[in-house]
Amino acid sequence: MKSGKLIKYLNVILKFDERLRLVEQLISVSDQENKMQSISSNEKCKSCYNKIDFAQLFYVLMDEGLLFFDTADQKSNRSKFQFFLENNFTYAGDEGGQSKIKSISRQFSECKGYTYKVKQIKFLDEFIAVMQGRKRRLESW
């Protein structure tokens, strides 16, 4: 075999080897992501808030446009937001333990309604107090 053909075949083999390594890396990264996804999909983020306060927190963040899924369609955004919360969070239940969020639609509706304005103002005052306390701690470092 001539040296030119030998070099050509060696190049083909080396390129094939490089591609195999790239595929292996992709698979191992993909496997790690899948493992992380399965861990995170089984475990939910817990909240110290009761269900209505939990809903108020996220409703305000959504309503003010700080967190969103779909800025073009308000109804779709709210629906996706509720679905996300129901599948990824728990709230502080009445008996002290964490409770699954089966549906948060009613609580989101309460956040929107005029009837619950006083409740929302009270929640916001408490939340602002917590944030101001944090700001003071940071300023005193």
Q: Tell me: pLDDT of 65 over 80.
A: yes
Please tell me whether residues 25 and 68 are part of one structural domain.
no
Please tell me whether residues 123 and 55 are part of one structural domain.
yes
Please tell me whether residues 99 and 61 are part of one structural domain.
yes
Please tell me whether residues 32 and 58 are part of one structural domain.
no
Within 10 angstroms of residue 63's Cβ, the number of other Cβ atoms is 17
Please tell me whether residues 55 and 74 are part of one structural domain.
yes
In percent, the amount of the chain with pLDDT more than 70 equals: 75
- Tell me how far apart the alpha carbons of residues 132 and 138 are, in angstroms, rounded to a whole number: 10
- Tell me how far apart the alpha carbons of residues 80 and 65 are, in angstroms, rounded to a whole number: 14
- Tell me how far apart the alpha carbons of residues 2 and 110 are, in angstroms, rounded to a whole number: 82
In degrees, rounded to 5, the angle at the alpha carbon of residue 33 between the alpha carbons of residues 32 and 37 is: 120
Nearest to 88 by CA among 69, 72, 74: 69
| Residue range 68-93: mean pLDDT, rounded | 94
Please tell me whether residues 6 and 50 are part of one structural domain.
no
Please tell me whether residues 112 and 55 are part of one structural domain.
yes
Please tell me whether residues 30 and 51 are part of one structural domain.
no
Contacts within 8 Å (CB) and 24+ apart, 111-117 = 111/55, 111/56, 111/59, 111/60, 111/63, 112/59, 112/63
To 10 degrees, the CA torsion angle through 104, 50, 67, 101? -40
In contact, 118 and 124? CB cutoff 8 Å? no
Q: What is the pLDDT of residue 83?
A: 95
Please tell me whether residues 82 and 117 are part of one structural domain.
yes
Q: Tell me: pLDDT of 26 over 80.
A: no
- Tell me how far apart the alpha carbons of residues 104 and 109 are, in angstroms, rounded to a whole number: 9
Q: What is the pLDDT of residue 32?
A: 60
Please tell me whether residues 70 and 132 are part of one structural domain.
yes
Digit-coded pLDDT (tens) for 98-109 = 999 999 999 999
Quote the DSSP letter at residue 89. Answer: B
Please tell me whether residues 11 and 56 are part of one structural domain.
no
Please tell me whether residues 81 and 132 are part of one structural domain.
yes
| Residue range 5-16: mean pLDDT, rounded | 62
Structural domain containing residue 114: 45-140
Question: How many domains does the chain contain in total?
Answer: 2
pLDDT band at 91 (very low <50, low <70, confident <90, very high): very high
